[in-house]
Structure 1
Amino acid sequence: MNKLTIDTDYLLQVLGKLLRTPSPTGFTDNVVRLVTSELAAMGLDAELTRRGAIRAIRRGKDPRGARAIVSHVDTLGAQVKALKENGRLAIVPIGHWSSRFAEGARCTIFSEKGTYRGSILPLKASGHTFNKEIDTQPVSWDNVEVRVDAYAKGLPELHKLGIEIGDIIAIDTETEFLENGYIVSRHLDDKAGVAIMLAAIRALQHEGKETPVDVHFLFTIAEEVGVGASSILLPEVASLVAIDNGTTAPGQNSDEFGVTLAMADQTGPFDYHLCKKLALLCHDNDIRYQKDVFRYYRSDSASALESGADVRTGLITFGVDASHGYERIHLHALRSVAELVTAYVASPVKIERDFDQFSDLSGFTRMPSKKAKQELSIDAELADPDHDLHQGSR
């Protein structure tokens, strides 16, 4: 087994720090400073892009054919669209999420003069005033507003407070860490992924684990708006594994326990050979896993490919219930994904041809072409209670 022991106390501690640091897309400087300080404490130097995406390279035996692990520090949020005559704020979402989950949320408005607290409310918020209309008004961002917890009866007071169009609004996480391992919070996508990466790095550093190639640990700042890993990869990187949330919902195979390996998202299938390797590593390292396909989902890997990076991509996820809402995960999944990261970066390189960006057919990969042998009849398969385990969905 190549997997390392994960310090779950540290994982939960750093996740708490991340969740307490507001970081909607476009407002990520503070969380970038937090992540770089954690990396420095573990002996890794970080370099930042102009806008703050983080790259920390852990050196291996060979710089060629480097592996990259990526998660994103930015979260959903909102932005002031207009100052209203009634002293409240019209808003638009940052990232794709429903106003249904915004209704009732507490929030912080960041203005040039300081921060203000507030609540996101439907336009018709009082049953004593609007009676049944509170249940029939449409669900949309045009039907919510921010009530600022400061004296603001109209436009003059809002101007005096210094609140302006374009100001960023961070949504409270309302985090709960339960004794049974469940974690309930907003913004677990993808701060849980960041915590997983930091916990995996901590294990690698503590064990002094040598890797066959350099590992680029990447933390992006604009995944929720589709930018993601579009400008952070170096040419040496041959494979990119994203860490993000899997969607536990009807019709999906994701789970709040173990690793959920994504086989495809809305941009298409992930790399065949990399997915196969990740599944085999789970099997060989006794890491519980399942596979899933996501229809309305994209991650940092999509932006990397769309920007022209010629890398093999994969996506490993922790199952999240009510993604982009009031989310829930379990520590078991976080630990499992972190274990897989350590096993993956320490595993031997099987496709050495990937050390070069261009080459001939020598060493080029092959895919199965022969018809699979049927060791069991269809009736026997259906009668076998462990059939799913034989198929690798464990």
Structure 2
Amino acid sequence: MRALKINQDYLRETLEQALAIPSPTGMTNEIVHFCCDQLKQLGIEFELTRRGAIRATLPGRRKSPDRAIVAHLDTLGAMVTHLRDNGRPAVAPVGTWPARAAEGARVTLYADHGKQFRGTLLPLKASGHVYNEEVDQQPAHWDNLELRLDEVVASGDDVAALGIQPGDFVAVDPQTELLDNGFWFSRFLDDKAGVAALLAAARAIVEEDAELPMDVHLLFTITEETGAGASHVLHGDVAELIAVDNGTIAPDQNTSEYGATIAMQDSSGPFDYYLSRRLSALCDSFGIEHSRDVFRHYRSDAAAALEAGNDIRTALVCFALDSSHGYERTHRDSVTAVASLLTLYMQTDAMFERDADAIGPLQDFPEAQGDWEDSAVEEAVAEGG
């Protein structure tokens, strides 16, 4: 096992290109093609599910059992619910995000037959010159939002005449700004920063011809924001699954703003004891800045995989994110730390040999969790880390 260099230019360029592609859940074809193009350029084989989730493979010394790392391509968005009489369509969220984070957002509405319309999501009471203090008293709720179209419309019939209908997707402008000092701002860093980290890690493995003990599947899902996530792209040989997503920066949280964060539990319950501690041990051994955290109102691709009936070990690796599901901020060093950790994890042996089979004997099953040490990491570091 050896530390691999993450190409910073590739990481930044891949993230910037991904952020520029609108991909609310249900409208992900373009971002799927972008991701597949990246995999082609790296010479990594892949296949797609019917709806477009991607399963790529970095080959290892053995085919089964294998492991997977997952990031999601889909983002938050909105959808037209009905055409208001004032010519401003009502909208509902795609994914779970607060209405206050949508207020004032510039958007594109995607109608059928390739028609696109620009507009702004606004509160029903948007003008202080009209409503005075009521603009601050109206509850922030999606029922109190409407889409002001940049078209000559004054009624629902006018909007319908443009070809706009209930069910049309609304994609929010990302407002991306990547500063040279390493601070990166944008909507939808969740989870396109995770996608960029995973692709950058894969590039490092390929370019440095790192030897992998077992096959590693790179999964890119398209329905994480609505809960399905990795439930539909795994197969029975996967024994370990790492989800890559955001770690929230907030009071009483312990996310590392400039490093990787290992989530020990989210709203779906604890992650695998051993796999989570292996990731921490890799960070300790290779000097990767990191922390451990617990998230109370959070779920990821890993939860969807377990709920689908997969008996696998799961863990969650996070890049730092301030104002999650709003106008988000991360730092280059945090995304790089995640990518570096992923390259190390891919070079480790199986967590336990008994995990090769879904059902197996007691042999190799650890006894007391508190006394456990990851000998595989220690040996790998001693040999070449």
TM range (shorter): over 0.9
CA contact (8 A) 1:2 1:347 kept: no
Counterpart residue number, 2:44: 44
CA offset digits 1:270-324 (Å, max 9, x no partner): 0001011111111111101100000000000000000000110000001100000
Work out whether 1:344 is the aligned partner of 2:350.
no
1:67 is displaced (CA, Å) by 1.1
Counterpart residue number, 2:198: 197
Distance 1:345 1:369, change over 3 A: closer
Query: 2 CA distance for matches of 1:255 and 1:356?
Result: 36
Query: 2 CA distance for matches of 1:69 and 1:348?
Result: 15
1:232 is displaced (CA, Å) by 0.7
1:1-394 correspondence to structure 2 within 5 Å: 2-113=2-113, 114-368=115-369
1:131 is displaced (CA, Å) by 1.4
Q: Give the superposed CA RMSD.
A: 1.2
Which contiguous aligned blocks of 4+ residues in structure 1 show a shift greater than 3 angstroms? none
| Deviating more after overlay: 188-197 vs 349-358 | 349-358
CA offset digits 1:154-213 (Å, max 9, x no partner): 122111110000111001100100111000110000000000010001100100111000
SS at match of 2:309: coil
Distance 1:105 1:369, change over 3 A: closer
Query: 1 CA distance for matches of 2:136 and 2:245?
Result: 34
CA contact (8 A) 1:3 1:343 kept: yes
Distance 1:322 1:369, change over 3 A: closer
1:142 is displaced (CA, Å) by 0.8
CA offset digits 1:341-390 (Å, max 9, x no partner): 000001223411111111111111233367xxxxxxxxxxxxxxxxxxxx
Q: Which amino acid aligns with 1:76?
A: L
CA contact (8 A) 1:223 1:229 kept: yes
Aligned residues: 371
Q: Give the alignment's TM-score, normalised by structure 1.
A: 0.93
CA contact (8 A) 1:64 1:356 kept: no
CA offset digits 1:102-146 (Å, max 9, x no partner): 110000000014110000011011111111111111110111100
Query: 1 CA distance for matches of 2:368 and 2:183?
Result: 40
SS at match of 1:252: coil
SS at match of 1:22: coil
Query: 2 CA distance for matches of 1:197 and 1:307?
Result: 23
Q: Which amino acid aligns with 2:87?
A: G
Query: 1 CA distance for matches of 2:351 and 2:110?
Result: 49
CA offset digits 1:209-228 (Å, max 9, x no partner): 11000000000000000000
Q: Give the alignment's TM-score, normalised by structure 2.
A: 0.95
SS at match of 1:125: coil
